[in-house]
Structure 1
């Protein structure tokens, strides 16, 4: 068996219970929130991206015959993380990865191609790379199964699962909204599919429901309009 001293493997960020963390890392969040950090250059051809990746792998003593390792050093040619490697995206923003996979699956299911070009080639290569990992496959299967998405108990009992309020339930966040945390979540820009995004959707539903109930209550308390004089 050959030894490759420079071989690099993906290191997924995981929570205390071993689940993949879907929210972006600090570095990813900084790039996302600061447009000047984003690469706006013209997308490169796939063959050039591959050549550059092979050079990087060979220079560090990696396994150039390992397709997955080489793909890890492909540089993204699309989106807000353009210029970062495929491996970097998996390690720093699984939530965005899931969003990309689901979006492409919907596009393919509809039979409508939303875009073409080098950026689209890069997207398809990245998704093939991401789907080669059991962790991503398991997460997709988990979300598709509906497990943990409010079955027997209800959405109220779902745990936040991130940040300082990780062990609080969604209902506790709603009921304690006077502390400002619910407003903080509602005001955030979230990546689709992340825990924060799901909590945000729940809070918006509760907010809309509360608004509707208040409107209905006010309507019921409104004085009845006097009947006009009948004419015969």
Structure 2
């Protein structure tokens, strides 16, 4: 007897909402586990945008979805950046709206400053995700609501929670760099700082001795 294969067809985003219907911005339990355990994160190199697109189209067609619907196809794209790298775009909207807002607002600030720090494939993935997220009225409405709220009094961040601000891990905090030190990046930073310190010390000492000899 031939086995019948069931395809769910179109898949829609199911947002997590609170008791009164507002979108929840806290991470889901699954997202929190990934956030708290760096070993669960995808450390592989980012994949080209076209490869991501072709994989997404294949998934949509196999489950009987609408491959002509850009939003449905984008929902099957896999993130090529950040702590949720490897997860589908749809998954991120369903599991961490707060992080989604952070990505949108950070990107808007970078655009306003004329600085975009993401690398090529990561940048392509980020821009595709932002286009996908902003296509939902729920996200646009939440952004408008957040913009209208009175800005909180800024508090100085703890040093370990500050962004690195340069290099391949520019958007990571110093805490995240240290917690993922097995990848060698923390050792690279320490070596870089030590080299700069030695160079600066040698320059200062040479200036002092030069003054004394006059």
Please report the TM-score for the alignment, with normalisation by the length of structure 1.
0.61
Indicate which of 13, 25, 28 corresponds to 1:25: 28
28-37 or 85-94, which moves further after superposition? 28-37
User: Does residue 10 of structure 2 align to residue 7 of structure 1?
Assistant: yes
Once the two structures are TM-superposed, the CA of residue 113 in structure 1 deviates from its matched residue by 1.9
1:57 aligned residue: 60
Deviation of 1:18 (Å): 0.3
RMSD value over aligned CA atoms? 1.9
Name the residue aligned to 1:146: 149
Work out which of the residue numbers 46, 70, 75 in structure 1 matches 2:73.
70
Residue 105 (structure 1) aligned with residue 108 (structure 2): yes
Q: 1:34 aligns with which of 24, 32, 37?
A: 37
Q: Which runs of 5+ in 2 are unaligned?
A: 1-6, 154-160, 162-214
SS in 2 for 1:91: helix
Secondary structure, in 3 states, of the residue corresponding to 1:118?
A: helix
Does 122-131 or 107-116 show the bigger shift? 107-116
In the alignment, does 2:44 pair up with 1:48?
A: no
Aligned residues: 149
Structure 1 unpaired stretches of 5+: 156-188, 190-232
Structure 1 outlier segments of 4+, above 2 Å: none
Alpha-carbon offset, residue 115 of structure 1: 2.5
The residue matched to 2:117 in structure 1 has which SS? coil
1:42 is displaced (CA, Å) by 0.5
Deviations 1:69-107 (A, max 9, x none): 000000000000001000000000000000000000000
Q: 2:120 corresponds to which residue?
A: 117
For 1:117 and 1:143, the matched residues in 2 are separated by 30
The structure number with the bigger radius of gyration is: 1
Residue 79 of structure 1 corresponds to which residue in structure 2? 82
Tell me how far 1:114 sits from its aligned partner.
1.7
Distance 1:101 1:25 in 2: 19
Question: Distance in 2 between the 1:6 and 1:116 partners?
Answer: 34
State TM-score, norm by structure 2: 0.66
